[in-house]
Amino acid sequence: MTQLDLATLHESIAAAIPDEPCIVADRTWTWSETTDRTRRLCAVLRGQNLGTRRPLSGEPAWETGQDHLGILLHNGPEYLEALLGGHKASVVPFNVNYRYTADELTYLFRDARPAVLVYGARFAPVLAEVLPCLDRRPVLLQVDDGSGAQMLDGARDYEAALAAADPALGAPDSGPDDHHLLYTGGTTGQPKGVIWRVGDMVHGALGVRGRDGLPITELELAVARALKVRGIVLPAPPLMHGAGGGIALGGWLGGGTVVFPPEPERFDAARLLDTCASHDVTTLMIVGDAFAAPIVDELERQPRTLALRVLVNSGAVLRDELKDRLRAQVPGLRIADMLGSSESGVHARRESEGRIFDGRGAVTVLSDDRSRLLEPGSEEVGWMATTGNIPLGYLGDAEKTAATFVSIGDQRFSVPGDRARRLADGRIEFLGREATTINTGGEKVFADEVEAVLCSMTGVTDAVVIGRDSERWGQEVVALVATDRALTDADLAAGCRAKLAGYKVPKAFVRVPAVGRHANGKTDYAWAREAAR
């Protein structure tokens, strides 16, 4: 099937709306300006003889066959320019977690093998520790981020490099068979790079599809769709995580403007809402209660007139109570509560708090041995899976690729590790990640299920459930709970027993002032394990 690629489609949209805003941060960049700057970056990469390697027919699913470009930046225009400029040069961009230590970055770069790094100056000191540990020193493009850090030896100033480049030498030579690399820490253990074909990413994760759900593969029709959709998008979580980057790129391919609040490296609900109000943001992307709770509190403290039409939530649970309070403050707001992963894009739309998802489309449930599809109403616990436009595999890991991307007949599925049941009406009951499943006394407890019950209780503001070593049970269920009122262990246990079997009720409740979470809103499990101990 014919597919489109990111760079070609972006340039075609830019040709149709050259003077419209494409990126808004401390200033506005039009679509034509963004085209010019990303062509210049493409020319810089080509000037370093990068982008000449292309995917070959028959390439193993765990290799890209291309040069790689690492992006170590906070949210901002340069992040999106690096993504798009890399694709124009047929160089594979990949995300770098800016919270990583020198040891973690060394592991990541040895795995990813970057030929070029675009990085913020504030990260130069840690890179100075890492670069001598690599077999190959990448091309270095340093972005002046106001930190005042010195230029690394051999590095080029990003703006100076773009200014000296000829945009005529940066016209895209890209295609749907090029690759995109998305690193996930998740539950894969050490970070793993998920390899997407660009065509599958455009028509899958980035949503270039028609109302019938089918991919739009004709360039003229895709541009026409973009001119109808438009909108103004603000990704609240870091672009270094898949959900943030996905909503920004998807917004672009829908003809939209991507907006960044001031000081995006620090989440501030008031600053974010002020940005939404001043730029008439129509789509806001968040990750669960960690983002929603302070946003709701700020709106209730100081209401604002907002143009928001859609709130997209992905990556963590968003409580029904917070949804109701959001809708009360933003009349007409549509909340799209999605389940997704780096390995699948968007799995499914959440229908009720925590656990029930729409079972239509490309999502299904496979048997425990991953050999067959489960029928609606089966009591068997299986694996949530996605088919259609899915990734190829994990960079450099044939074994993990084979375990996660499986075939049944002539159909491929991505099985990233979510446990689920297929309900009689076709919907899917999400039970939780296999990596967060607790085996207590021979019974399996899905942490997500217990967390959803705890978070539904009045007075509980956040909770995380983990397994703790136990001589009696092997593992025991422990809940780390943040509350805004006095709740005894007996209160919490009684609330759990009302909705859960006895073996699922936590053996201990640990009070915490706040649940430890990463910048993307997801649980910090290293913190949780230490807090439970």
Mapping DSSP to helix (H, G, I), strand (E, B) and coil, where does residue 14 land?
helix
Q: Using CB atoms within 10 Å of the CB of residue 163, give its burial: 0 to 12 exposed, 13 to 18 middle, 19+ buried.
A: exposed
pLDDT tens for 208-243 read 999 888 999 999 999 999 999 999 999 999 999 888
- The Cα-based distances of 5 to 175, 178, 199, 200, 347 in angstroms read 5, 8, 5, 9, 22
E runs forming strands in 31-76: 68-72
Q: Residue 247: what pLDDT?
A: 94
Distance CA 166, CA 39 (A): 8
Average pLDDT over residues 436-451: 82
Q: Residue 496: what pLDDT?
A: 93
Average pLDDT over residues 78-89: 98
Residue 186 has pLDDT above 80, yes or no: no
Q: Which two tokens stand for residue 6?
A: 């990111």
- pLDDT class of 188 with cuts at 50, 70, 90: very low
Lowest average pLDDT, out of 62-71, 152-161, 514-523, goes to 514-523
Q: Which two tokens stand for residue 406?
A: 């499986």
Residue 354 has pLDDT above 70, yes or no: no
- pLDDT class of 187 with cuts at 50, 70, 90: very low
Residue 172 has pLDDT above 80, yes or no: yes
Q: Residue 510: what pLDDT?
A: 95
Residue 1 has pLDDT above 70, yes or no: no
pLDDT tens for 369-420 read 999 999 999 989 999 999 999 999 999 999 999 999 999 999 999 998 888 8
- Residue-averaged pLDDT of the chain: 92
Residue 64 has pLDDT above 90, yes or no: yes
- Nearest Cα to 114, choosing from 57, 161, 183, 186? 183
Q: Which two tokens stand for residue 119?
A: 């990085």
- Nearest Cα to 96, choosing from 113, 34, 87, 88? 113
Q: Which two tokens stand for residue 327?
A: 């809708």
Specify whether the CB–CB gap between 75 and 260 falls below 8 A. yes
Q: Residue 326: what pLDDT?
A: 96
Distance CA 317, CA 465 (A): 13
What residues have CB less than 8 Å from 495, skipping those under 6 apart?
A: 453, 454, 457
Residue 527 has pLDDT above 80, yes or no: yes
Distance CA 84, CA 42 (A): 9
Residue 517 has pLDDT above 60, yes or no: yes
Q: Residue 418: what pLDDT?
A: 85
Distance CA 167, CA 154 (A): 23
Q: Residue 315: what pLDDT?
A: 76
- Nearest Cα to 219, choosing from 279, 157, 172? 172
pLDDT tens for 291-347 read 998 999 999 999 999 999 999 998 777 888 899 999 999 999 999 988 778 888 876
Up-side HSE of residue 239: CA atoms within 13 Å toward CB?
A: 27
The distance in angstroms from the start CA to the end CA of the chain is 53
- pLDDT class of 189 with cuts at 50, 70, 90: low
- Nearest Cα to 200, choosing from 61, 78, 396? 61
pLDDT tens for 127-156 read 999 999 999 999 999 999 999 999 999 999
- Nearest Cα to 43, choosing from 102, 2, 86, 8? 86
Mapping DSSP to helix (H, G, I), strand (E, B) and coil, where does residue 243 land?
helix
C-alpha torsion angle, residues 469, 472, 473, 479 (rounded to 10): -60
- Nearest Cα to 470, choosing from 532, 378, 518? 532
Strands of the 460-470 sheet, one edge to the other = 460-470, 474-483, 508-511
Distance CA 409, CA 133 (A): 44
Distance CA 360, CA 338 (A): 13
Mapping DSSP to helix (H, G, I), strand (E, B) and coil, where does residue 117 land?
strand
Share of the chain above pLDDT 90, in %: 72
Bridging pattern class, strands 363-366 and 382-387: antiparallel
Q: What are the chain's domains?
A: 6-197 (3.40.50.980), 359-433 (2.30.38.10), 441-532 (3.30.300.30)
Q: Which two tokens stand for residue 508?
A: 């201990």
Share of the chain above pLDDT 70, in %: 98
Q: What is the 3-state secondary structure (H, E, C) of 269-335?
A: HHHHHHHHHHCCCCEEEECHHHHHHHHHHHHHHCCCCCCCCEEEEECCCCCHHHHHHHHHHCCCCEE
Residue 519 has pLDDT above 80, yes or no: no
Mapping DSSP to helix (H, G, I), strand (E, B) and coil, where does residue 57 land?
coil
Distance CA 51, CA 289 (A): 41
pLDDT tens for 461-505 read 999 999 998 877 778 999 999 999 989 999 999 999 988 888 899
Distance CA 247, CA 489 (A): 40
Average pLDDT over residues 17-46: 98
499 or 116: which leads in pLDDT: 116
| Residue 150 per-residue DSSP state | P
Lowest average pLDDT, out of 24-38, 181-195, 412-426, goes to 181-195
- Give the predicted TM-score (pTM) of the model: 0.86
- pLDDT class of 449 with cuts at 50, 70, 90: confident
Place of tokens 């941060």: 25
Distance CA 213, CA 207 (A): 9
> For residue 89, how many other CB atoms are within 10 A of its CB?
32
Distance CA 121, CA 72 (A): 10
Distance CA 20, CA 370 (A): 48
